[in-house]
Amino acid sequence: MGLIRRNQFTRRQFFQISGLSGVGFLLSGCGTQGFEDLVGKLSEPLNQKVEELIFNPQKPVPEFLPSDIQPEALIVNTFRGTPIIDQEKYRLIVDGEVNNPLSLSMAEIQALPLTSMIIRHVCVEGWAAIVQWGGITLQEIITLARPKANVKYAYFKSADGYYESWDIASALHPQTLLAYQKNGEPLPVDNGAPLRLASPIKLGYKQSKWVTRITLTSYLSPFKGYWEDQGYEWFAGI
């Protein structure tokens, strides 16, 4: 049911922008501090190898009908409380191994093609919610930044100090958004305004809220993500 008002990348174009081979390269915001003590070390290398074989970076995930939306089901989890952001002064920084670094205002972001999708948000804590998200595809932003051919990862920094990293194939998935709408209305601050990640292919803790910076890079830092550094799985695909 989602509307993507732009032409989709061809497989050839996808590999050109991502720097990936034809075989395919496959390797927030969810979770509470009280849950941190319950997390054990996962067999991440094995999990990632399995996901490398089954993840299709271009395959869309089935979406839901407007009647399926669950307006009250999305639980508000915070990392260090809700940050105060002046949306008039807000800039999204895109840097790293790119040929065209970006510093975008919300007006500039909202002038780009709007994509809307109704998907299930799945939290590692065991709850889920069907939500309609609207915003700009992350693919669009990455394209504007003109990443270098060796880029394989995207790092996300948030206004509250939260940090995350994704593989570039997941970041370029056509249903991965930087959302500024929720259920047809402006995104509430508690849900991550002015911009948050939203995607049907990742667990909730990968979907950072209050995103302020995206850094594209060819290497994976030892600091992979706040919850991953506590023992969560890095890929966290659904």
The arrangement of strands across the sheet holding 211-217 comes to 102-104, 92-96, 211-217, 153-158, 163-167
State residue 52's pLDDT score.
57
- Binned at pLDDT 50, 70 and 90, residue 130 comes out as very high
- Name the architecture of domain 33-230: Alpha-Beta Complex (3.90)
pLDDT band of residue 49 (cuts 50, 70, 90) is low
* Residue 62 to residue 178: CA distance in whole angstroms: 19
Mean pLDDT, rounded, for 4-12: 38
Which of the four pLDDT bands, split at 50, 70 and 90, describes residue 80? confident
Higher pLDDT, 9 or 166: 166
Contact call for residues 57 and 24 (beta carbons, < 8 A):
yes
Mean predicted lDDT score pLDDT of the chain? 82
What is the torsion angle, in degrees rounded to the nearest 10, for the CA atoms of residue 25, residue 9, residue 166 and residue 134?
-160
Q: Give this prediction's pTM.
A: 0.79
pLDDT computed for residue 83 by the predictor? 94
